[in-house]
Structure 1
Amino acid sequence: MTAATTPVKLGDALTARRTPEQLKARRMLMWRQLLTSLWAPLTAVGLAFIPYLFLIENLPSSASWAKPAMQFFGAAMFFAWAALLVWRLASKREAALRKLRHEARELFHEAERIFQRVPGKLPANAAERIAEQSVRVEDASLAADVPRLEKEVRALDKLHEELLGAYRKQSGWDTISGFVKALLIALLIRTIFIEPYRIPSGSMLPTLEIGDQVFVNKFIYGVRIPFMNKVPFQIVRAPARGDVIVFNNPVETDKDFIKRIVGIPGDRVELINEVVFINGRPQNRTLVDKDSVVHNLSPQSEWYDDEVIRYTENLDSVSHAVLQDPHPMTPRTEGPFIVPEGHVFVMGDNRDNSSDSRVGFIGPGHAPAYVPFGNIKGKAMVVWLSLGYGGLGSSFFGGTGLRLDRFFEPVR
């Protein structure tokens, strides 16, 4: 046999053999497979989530209608996913077709890789013979004829063994490189764009509840160099008062915390009888409920009702809820705290149940501590999942359940 002297593109050889009717039918089958894939509802939610994030971040007032709309869409996609799963499990014919079509795709991609890797070492007629058999496989696939498709796929596999057998075994480098590429993509996304974070305690109640899972925008303040706690340059803006941030604890560096920024570089922060003063100006707050109850978690992982007073506080026009002990020590003054350059001063919204900048992230009696810009991992944007008090299944898991009402909750 003579060897081919130039690389052959198997896809081109296949396209040349397809009729216009086959091309149209192939496109329709491709769309059908995409829309009936179990990934389709998840992908739809992901695609809708991107404009949703942009909307609630840039137009906070839109959350009043955007959140219910997103929750409705998410629920619809969940039921669509469940229906697809039931259908796929119930239909043996569909299961057989999916399996055989997957095998056919794998054989095609295998042949493509081999033609690209060793084009000059293959028989001259290899591309034509494989393309002809691949068209037969496609015809059987488009006809949804299971016995015929199985026969043609087996024939294609046998042809591969005859023509490409010496090169079929995937090298160890192919396996390792595929894994490394996937790992690098995941690390890139987590380092630059978005990262999940789970709320472990009640320090940010009622804004964030225990068990909430939030997405953190890692892009807004600048790309942070992992392990070095350095941000070489700012991208969108600097951290601002009112932002809820996830950061690496500057005192215990093996822990990540989530708190609200109250003071920025140069600020003089003071709390007088629970009222926040920034540079001598009291921050407006309004009493909402003197007898509010939130659900907290004990060190023994048992839920308990915590009676608190609830206020609405404004920090630079960022309106958010804060909680305070119904029996505070009065009169009470904390500070003043002078925020150094390149740092922020943070507090939890559950003001009397939070280890934050006021107490050095450790507890009462410790010197105050500030968060360097380089320790900030990003800004909390939205709750994407919540496994907290109540909700679905809570009677089986000690009070912890799936909180559907928390899905897509903006972090304010």
Structure 2
Amino acid sequence: MSAASPSAPPAVKLSSVMAARRTPDQLRARRKLVWREMLTSLWAPLCIIGLAFIPYTLLIEYAPAAASWAQPVMKGLGLVMVAFFLVLLVFRNVSAKEKALRPLRQEAHELISEDEALLRKVQGMGRLQPGVSEQIAEQALRVENASVAGDADTLRAELKGLEALTAQHLGAFRKRSVMDFVGGFGKALLVALVIRTFIVEPYRIPSGSMLPTLEIGDQVFVNKFIYGVRIPFMNVVPFVLVRRPARGDVIVFNNPVDESKDYIKRVVGLPGDTVELFEGVVYINGKMQPRERVSSEFIVHNITDNGVWFDQQETLYEEDLSGVSHAALQTLSRMPRHEGPYVVPPGQVFVMGDNRDNSADSRHGFGITGNNQTEFVPYGHIKGKAMVVWLSLGYHGLLHGLFGGTGLRVDRFFEPVR
């Protein structure tokens, strides 16, 4: 009867064998070490911020008023995590014991994981000699106990013993096939594509068309699922998940005139709307959208194509689009007396930049088809809704003297997009 026959013993996982042999004290010590290794990883501060960022984003999206206290809390947490990262960096490079143990512990983790996979593979083929699983499990436990004890010399010796057992009994199966590599790479790529395509995607603000709401160099996260699952390249949204784009939303979209470019603008007109502007004031279906002048000498910072910052004086307004209050800029000397009417077709939206006289938007053919050619954004071209600024490399931030006036804008971190 062959080893692969129905009477062959069932496959046993290495982790199960090790778990059955651990004493309660060993189990507690192992759990403590696992938590210690996670919290002293340089990835720990980033992961903590990432975990906090998810509820923060949901909170400011569905309870906008909460941003008044939630944003300072997130900024404080961010500063604490920066300090935490610096402390970890110093600790890991100054402590001789930590420098010796961490790579050995990582090697131990990788070798035990490899043995787990190899044993599963060999057992499935019915080619494992009797008692090998127990020998490897026993040696793996010695490695684990040495790792918990924090003795680098003992851990190094036990690792050599486990490596020798692995080479003796499983060495013939250690070579990774091309398919193993492709499969692992493919899974990672698939996860990244799913996240960017259907969940969230970063977008960098390249120009001043959305000043002062979004500043040049702001990096925003775009909610990809709120409007529905968009099929890339086909530019269709087969079904809505949460809702359709609403008036006042700041959206990122694939330019319908030049699909090689993505733009970010504010939704002003919805399907069936008639949009007009009289001396800068927006009228939707004949109804004036209120706006109030805040300042006639408001300074914003713009940038030339070759990266030189310059000041731009505009008139600042607070505008209300069907209940969505936001800032808008107007150049009084250039303000047209009348624009429109623009009748929004079904399944499309009319968009404008908040920097009204410095924006290539629906009124101006997105800067491609010309000032007298109106262009709308089909639903299928909308990538998502801008939610929050997660990073900003803009005017006069930290270390700006080293980078031509561009620096890290800590004051913009976690700014909600309104």
Same fold (TM over 0.5): yes
Question: Which residue identity does 2:358 align to in structure 1?
Answer: N
Q: CA deviation at 1:5?
A: 4.1
**Correspondent of 2:275 among 256, 269, 274:** 269
Q: Corresponding residue for 2:359?
A: 354
Q: CA deviation at 1:402?
A: 0.4
Q: CA deviation at 1:329?
A: 4.6
Contact persistence 1:309–1:326 (CA under 8 A): yes
Q: Corresponding residue for 2:153?
A: 147
Q: CA deviation at 1:326?
A: 3.3
Q: Corresponding residue for 1:200?
A: 206
- 1:335-354 aligned at under 5 Å gives the runs 335-354=340-359
Residues paired across the two proteins, number: 410
Q: CA deviation at 1:61?
A: 1.0
- 1:286-325 aligned at under 5 Å gives the runs 286-325=292-331
TM-score (norm 2): 0.96
SS where residue 311 of structure 2 aligns?
strand
**Correspondent of 1:159 among 158, 161, 165:** 165
Query: Relative to structure 2, which stretch is displaced further, 8-17 or 306-315?
Result: 8-17
Question: Which residue identity does 1:312 align to in structure 2?
Answer: E
Q: Is 1:31 matched up with 2:35?
A: yes
* Counterparts of 2:98 and 2:195, CA distance in 1: 35
Q: CA deviation at 1:328?
A: 2.8
TM-score (norm 1): 0.98
Q: Corresponding residue for 2:334?
A: 328
Q: Corresponding residue for 2:403?
A: 397
Q: Corresponding residue for 2:180?
A: 174
SS where residue 334 of structure 2 aligns?
coil
Question: Which residue identity does 1:356 align to in structure 2?
Answer: D
Contact persistence 1:307–1:326 (CA under 8 A): no
* Counterparts of 2:112 and 2:334, CA distance in 1: 71
Q: Corresponding residue for 1:89?
A: 93
Q: CA deviation at 1:96?
A: 1.4
* Counterparts of 2:335 and 2:45, CA distance in 1: 53
Question: Which residue identity does 1:11 align to in structure 2?
Answer: S
- 1:225-244 aligned at under 5 Å gives the runs 225-244=231-250
Question: Which residue identity does 2:350 align to in structure 1?
Answer: F
Q: Over residues 139-163 of structure 1, what are the superposed CA-to-partner deviations in whole Å (9 max), with x where a residue is unaligned? A: 2111101111100001110111111
Q: Is 1:114 matched up with 2:118?
A: yes
* Counterparts of 1:136 and 1:249, CA distance in 2: 60
* Counterparts of 1:220 and 1:323, CA distance in 2: 28
Contact persistence 1:313–1:321 (CA under 8 A): yes
* Counterparts of 2:379 and 2:231, CA distance in 1: 12
* Counterparts of 1:324 and 1:104, CA distance in 2: 63
Alpha carbons of structure 1 residues 246 and 29: separation in structure 2 relative to 1, 3 Å: same
Contact persistence 2:280–2:335 (CA under 8 A): no
Query: Relative to structure 2, which stretch is displaced further, 3-12 or 174-183?
Result: 3-12
Contact persistence 1:391–1:400 (CA under 8 A): yes
Q: Corresponding residue for 1:41?
A: 45
* Counterparts of 1:11 and 1:150, CA distance in 2: 21
* Counterparts of 1:24 and 1:126, CA distance in 2: 27
* Counterparts of 2:114 and 2:249, CA distance in 1: 50
Question: Which residue identity does 2:114 align to in structure 1?
Answer: E
Contact persistence 2:335–2:357 (CA under 8 A): no
Contact persistence 2:211–2:354 (CA under 8 A): yes
Q: Over residues 160-206 of structure 1, what are the superposed CA-to-partner deviations in whole Å (9 max), with x where a residue is unaligned? A: 11111111122221111110000000000011100000000000000
Q: Is 1:105 matched up with 2:81?
A: no
Q: Corresponding residue for 2:56?
A: 52
Q: Over residues 69-109 of structure 1, what are the superposed CA-to-partner deviations in whole Å (9 max), with x where a residue is unaligned? A: 10000110111011101111111211211111111111111
Contact persistence 1:206–1:321 (CA under 8 A): yes
Q: CA deviation at 1:300?
A: 2.3
Q: CA deviation at 1:366?
A: 3.2
Q: CA deviation at 1:116?
A: 1.4
Consecutive unaligned residues in structure 1, runs of 5 or more: none
